[in-house]
Amino acid sequence: MPNNNPTHRQAVTTADKVFQQLQFAIVEGEIAAGSKISEPELAKRFDVSRATLREALSRLEKCHLIVRKPNVGARVVECTIEGLLEIYQVREALEGMACRLAAENMTKQEIVDMQAMLDMHAKSKALKDGIAYYQEEGDLDFHYKVILASHNQQLIDLLCGQLYHLVRMYRIQFGMNSPRATKAFNEHANILQAIIDGDGELAEILMRRHIGASRKNIEQKIKQLSQNAQ
C-alpha cells in the first residue's frame, strides 16, 4: 500500500541517492575493498541522518557489496580469487537459463535495441585493437539486457539486483584488459542470433560456454601470476 506521507517519500528518495553514490564509490574502488564502514563519517559526508544511512547500507549488504560481522561492524567486501570464481560458476548456470528464456520472451523492440547496442560496441577502439571489451553498466551491458529480456523477475532480481554490481566491482578490481576481447564480442553476437532464431537450447549452451571461457581465462591469469611470484 503506497505511503502518501511526503516526509516518508523524501527519506526514501534520500536513501536511494546515498545508496547509489555509495554503490558507485565501492564498485569503482573509491572506497577500498575491505575497508571499514564508518557510519558517523559517511552520515557527515552525505549530510544525512544515521537512520537514512543505515537504510542505504542495508541495501548494499543485500547486493553483497558490504558485509556485517558481530562486534566488528560493516566492511566493504574483499575481492578474492575464490569469490570471483564462485560468482562465475553461478553466472554460468543462471545466465544460461536467462538466455533460454530470452529466446522465448524477447520482444521485437528488445531485439532491435540489443542489435544497436552491439553495433555501438563494435565501434570501440579498444575492442577493434583487441585489447579490451569494456561495457558501460545497465542498458549498455549485453549481459544485463539479456537478463532483462528473460522477463523472469526472480532472475532479474538476483542477477541484476543482488550480483550485478559485485560482478562489476570484481571486473574493475582485477582489470578490464583481456586477450579474449574480440572473441567475447563475437560470442555475444552468436548468442544474440540464437535468441533471435528462437533457439533457446543453443542460446543457453553458447552463454554457458561464453562465461565458462571467461572463467577459464581468469584461472589461467591466476596461475601465471602465481608462477611469476615464485
Contact 9, 46 (CB under 8 A): no
pLDDT of residue 175: 64
Q: List the one residue out of 51, 42, 39 whose CA is nearest residue 15.
A: 51
| Grid cell listed for 8 | 516518508
- What residues of the chain score a pLDDT lower than 70? 1-12, 175-178, 222, 225-226, 229-230
| Grid cell listed for 186 | 563475437
Residue whose cell numbers read 564462485? 86
pLDDT of residue 129: 80
Q: What is the pLDDT of residues 153-174, one digit of tens each?
A: 999 999 998 888 888 888 777 7
| Grid cell listed for 136 | 558501460
Q: What is the pLDDT of residues 33-42, one digit of tens each?
A: 999 999 999 9
What is the set of domains in the chain, with CATH numbers? 6-76 (1.10.10.10), 81-229 (1.20.120.530)
DSSP of 53-115? HHHHHHHHHHTTSEEEETTTEEEEPP--HHHHHHHHHHHHHHHHHHHHHHHHH--HHHHHHHH
pTM comes to 0.80
Q: List the one residue out of 60, 141, 27, 26 whose CA is nearest residue 95.
A: 141
